[in-house]
Chain A
């Protein structure tokens, strides 16, 4: 039994990796200037003309890499949050982390427009952590049910959104045009600088999270059992929550709010390999990465030369998916 599931996991991971590579190559070819796959492979290994290599190296490659990293991080964050809250409907967006990070970044755009790009992740992380801290303070003080916690998260998200709208609507247009583009959950105009600002952190945090994943399985057994197995549940939950928050907030800091990726990816992964987190987390990461790379590339290809934000596409497909989960998971959702 165990052997069988391991084999399945390995095959799933292999299949997803191939899918990810294929999608990645497609995303390099899709856009206002169509570039054939053969050319891309030549270019990546320095074999082709200057125009294509400029587009691929300067524009599409960093963008696709960024989509890959942030998609994976959001999915990982979503998987952790769902396990911690034992709520299949939870996701970084639903519990307000994304909105908190967005507010933090927007405030810095307005208050310190000259700030170096490298600080953006720090600010976003602060905003996200503050939002998450608020939610879990409420959870501690009022000892609310998981279902109620999702509501509190929505409310905190809406409060942050109200502040974001206030800033956007009352500033001069030239001040907010950059943050406005950034807010919509798009990978447009993201380059190596953005990628360099976050990838070491995202990769590092993801690695730590994957190493930590066995503890999620222990926590899932329930507080009493986990404690009897020698786990300091309270501390573990805090560490895991901090990891989830950082992963989501850092992603938001460079690509804005990409709704529903953190919700969809873990569920799709669960369909593929079941609930053990040792296997679930890497699969979820790959699924999330594929989702965002596809959303980004499709957004470029659909109405080229116009671009549809990746965030719009993920919300268009994610929201019905959320409803589907809601309808099929009612008993669990009640918590």
Chain B
């Protein structure tokens, strides 16, 4: 395989061990911090009484949710970057997050006659935004224009976001919760929300793993991919569905978290090369580790007020995006 050569600058076993270690540290960090400063590291190993309730009912679901968000968004970003062959692609930049937010806002505001679950609204919104962005960039004609992709995504995102704000100017009660939600917040997460994330994370992960070889072929170029039997347009469509599902689920639970979907795949590619069969699991692990640390930071950075996890992720990711737009060779 052509890709073998450039993969794995670090032996896979060692990197898996390192990632597991990072996740463990992140989990401890995220569990040990929180509003009650008297529940700390020591209580994790011998939970008793009140500390037990705090850990299992309040912090644990949130920690799991942070990890799952990292998995979902990292995978969504990886898939998007693969199918667009554009290193700047991510759910937030292509407008998919904002589309999901719009779907969700519509689901909350519109009279719900058929009683559909909110996840479905978000998913539909995400998918619509993704398809519109790709259509603008010329993706379904078989050739994606990189610049049009990013600029089209920005426009789709701006439009969706304006519509979201429009829906909440009409209703004060929604406005209050939505303002905090739009920056990406997991403060009030309980087990039921965590389960909703997991339900989407598992099939999303499996689908990406199954399609890993298709994504590898995309990297060879549209023509080569077609020649090797993988029509790039089908890969694009399947990838959009997977990414929209992953991003949409994250948005329903935690709001549109920007940039996690951008930096995690980059970091993974930097560490483990370009083979998607390796990248898919490592990106998932790396995303989990990163978001666990972001969650810990969000609780400690500005204590006692919490900085929402989405804001922490944006503060880490935006400078990265800036650096990349300046120095990456292959964006335009």
Chain A, interface residues (CB within 8 Å), range: 35 or more
Chain A residues contacting B158 (CB-CB under 8 Å) are 259-260, 315, 318-319, 322
CB contact under 8 A between A148 and B311, given known A172-B305, A333-B151: no
Residue A226 interfacial (CB < 8 Å) = no
Return the contact of B318 from the options A155, A259, A313, A330 (Cβ within 8 A).
Answer: A155
**Is there a chain A Cβ closer than 8 Å to B180's Cβ?**
yes
User: CB-CB < 8 A to B183: which residues of A?
Assistant: 165, 168-169
* Contact present for B314 and A180 (CB under 8 Å): no
CB neighbours (8 Å) of B302 from chain A are: 170
Question: In the assembled complex, which residues on chain A have CB atoms less than 8 Å from the CB atom of B317?
Answer: 162
- Contact between B165 and A184 (Cβ–Cβ < 8 Å)? yes
Partner of A330, one of B148, B311, B314, B315: B148
CB distance from B258 to the nearest CB of A (A): 8
Instruction: Indicate if the CB atoms of B332 and A151 lie closer than 8 Å.
Output: yes
Asked whether B314 lies within 8 Å of A147 as measured between CB atoms, the reply is no
Asked if A111 CB lies within 8 Å of chain B CBs, one says: no
Residues of A within 8 A of B305 (CB): 170-172
CB–CB A158/B151 < 8 A: no
> B161, B185, B322: which contacts A156 (Cβ < 8 A)?
B322
CA–CA, A156 to B326, complex, Å? 11
In the complex formed, the residue of A with least CB distance to B148 is A326
Chain A, range 157-182, C-beta contacts under 8 Å to B = 158-159, 161-163, 165-166, 168-172, 180
Interface SS of chain A: helix
Inter-chain contacts of A333 with B (CB < 8 A): 147-148, 151
Please give, as numbers and ranges, the residues of chain A lying within 8 Å of B230 by CB-CB distance.
none
Pick the contact of A147: B152, B321, B332 (CB < 8 A).
B332
A residues less than 8 Å from B154 (CB atoms): 94, 154
Per DSSP, chain B at the interface is: helix
In the bound complex, what is the Cα–Cα distance between A309 and B164 (angstroms)?
A: 12
Is B155 an interface position by the 8 A CB rule? yes
Which residues of the partner chain A approach B161 to less than 8 Å between Cβ atoms?
315
Closest to A155 in B: B322
Q: Which A residues from 282 to 335 make CB contacts under 8 A with B?
A: 303, 306-309, 311-313, 315-316, 318-320, 322-323, 326-327, 330, 333-335
Once bound together, how far apart are the Cα atoms of A142 and B314, in whole Å?
25
CA A308 to CA B168, docked complex, whole Å: 10
Across the interface, do A154 and B170 meet the contact criterion of CB distance under 8 Å?
no
B290-332 CB contacts (< 8 Å) to partner A: 302, 305-308, 310-311, 314-315, 317-319, 321-322, 324-327, 331-332
When chains A and B are docked, how far (Å) is the Cα of A77 from the Cα of B46? 63
Are A312 and B169 interface neighbours, CB within 8 A?
Answer: yes
Given contacts A152-B322, A165-B311, contact A316 B159 (CB under 8 A): yes
B76 interface contact, C-beta 8 A: no
* Contact bitstring A109-130, B, C-beta under 8 A = 1, else 0: 0000000000000000000000
| 7 pairs of A and B residues whose beta carbons are closest in the complex | A319-B159, A315-B162, A162-B314, A155-B322, A159-B318, A162-B318, A151-B325
A-B contacts, 23 of them at CB < 8 A, read A144-B326, A147-B332, A150-B151, A152-B322, A154-B150, A158-B318, A159-B319, A162-B258, A162-B259, A259-B158, A306-B170, A307-B169, A312-B166, A318-B158, A319-B158, A319-B162, A320-B155, A323-B152, A323-B156, A326-B155, A327-B148, A330-B148, A334-B145
Residues of A whose CB lies within 8 Å of any CB of B are 89, 94, 138, 142, 144-145, 147-148, 150-152, 154-156, 158-159, 161-163, 165-166, 168-172, 180, 184, 259-260, 303, 306-309, 311-313, 315-316, 318-320, 322-323, 326-327, 330, 333-335
Beyond A163-B315, A333-B148, 4 additional pairs, beta carbon < 8 A: A159-B318, A165-B311, A306-B169, A311-B162
